[in-house]
Amino acid sequence: MLDVTANSTAPGAGAGAAASDEPLLVAANLGKSYGRLAACRDVSFELYSGEVLAIVGESGSGKSTLLQILSGQLTPNTGSVSYRMRDGVTRDLATMDEAERRFLFRTDWGFVHQDPAMGLRMAVSAGANVGERLMAVGHNHYGKIRDTATSWLERVEISPERIDDAPRTYSGGMRQRLQIARNLVTEPRLVFMDEPTGGLDVSVQARLLDMMRTLVSELGLSAIVVTHDLAVARLLSHRVMVMQGGRVIETGLTDQVLDDPREPYTQLLVSSILPA
């Protein structure tokens, strides 16, 4: 657990600054069951441009299932996810074909996995990992791709001298930063993050969180971050949704939910934080 309570230093910059009145993403009545087990039920919310939403709850609360549905990797049994495309048209993910969804995933969206090995190609160079996403959107000038990759490595505090090394030679924290660079190089508008600071040392977490916070506010990104760590939610998000047993039981401004929790389960979560 990080001792990073940042009520007055939450990343308030992005939200609303350039926000359109139309939400970027709308989830309506999402539900998903596995046999008799309901992994998530009746989840509805709107995400606006520049907003960072944290989904918190313990293991098994349905937050990872929800993230998979929101990012189009899992089809819900009920409800829909709509996304406002770059051309301003809002589309229902279910009506897109596979090629359209893949294109969205490669360009306008990012997905940061807890395990960097899931989001990186471990055997190819760091430069190629970052460059690959650029090539996928049509860049083909080798020198320019390499320059862009170099500048992104610097942005995530990886020495450009390591550009030709494969991520399997990197430490856990470096791999996670490389994964973030790979995701952000195409300038996505929405990034999904699944326990982004998961298996990292506390000191490495602090550095990563600070970096993510800066990038999110500088780029005006929207993000949906799944985390069981309330300190991560406090530091990164504007709003929080608390999940329990597949349902959203409490939602609001992050500092409001964490400082004035209403629901019994939220009070339990907040009171369970060990003081550092």
Alpha carbons 78 and 44: distance in angstroms, whole number: 11
16: left (phi over 0), alpha (psi -120 to 50) or beta: left
Choose between 70 and 258: whose C-beta lies nearer to another protein: 258
* 91 SS3 class: strand
Counting contacts by CB under 8 A, is residue 260 touching another protein? yes
Q: Residue 160 CB: number of other CB atoms within 10 A?
A: 15
CB 182 within 8 A of CB 113: no
Structure tokens at 102: 């893949």
Tell whether residue 262 is a contact of another protein (CB under 8 A). Answer: yes
Instruction: Please report whether residue 13 would count as binding another protein according to CB under 8 A.
Output: yes
Nearest to another protein of 163, 230 (CB atom) = 230
Closest CA to 194 of 117, 115, 273, 252: 115
**Closest separation in Å from C-beta 2 to another protein:** 8
* Interacting residue with another protein among 51, 61, 96, 144 (CB under 8 A): 51
Nearest Cα residue to 220 out of 22, 15, 25, 71: 15
Nearer CB in complex with another protein: 9/169: 9
Smaller CB separation from another protein, 169 or 171: 171
Closer to another protein at the Cβ: 189 or 213? 213
Q: Does 41 bind another protein (CB under 8 A)?
A: no
User: For residues 228 and 242, what is the distance between their CA atoms, to the nearest angstrom?
Assistant: 10
Phi, psi for 129 (deg, rounded to 5): -60, -40
Tell me if 91 contacts another protein by CB under 8 A.
no
Q: How far is the CB of 155 from another protein (least distance, A)?
A: 15
Beta strands in the chain (DSSP E): 25-34, 37-47, 52-56, 78-84, 90-92, 109-112, 190-194, 222-227, 239-244, 247-253
Among 59, 95, 140, 271, binds another protein (CB under 8 A): 271
Instruction: Tell me which residues in 199-218 interact with another protein (CB under 8 A).
Output: 206-207, 209-210, 213, 217
Residue 268 touches another protein, criterion: CB under 8 A: yes
Q: Cβ of residue 142: shortest distance to another protein, in angstroms?
A: 33
| Residue from 8, 59, 95, 140 in contact with another protein (CB under 8 A) | 8
Contacts to another protein by CB under 8 A: 2, 4-9, 12-13, 15-17, 19, 48, 51, 206-207, 209-210, 213, 217, 235, 238-239, 252-253, 255-256, 259-260, 262-264, 267-268, 271
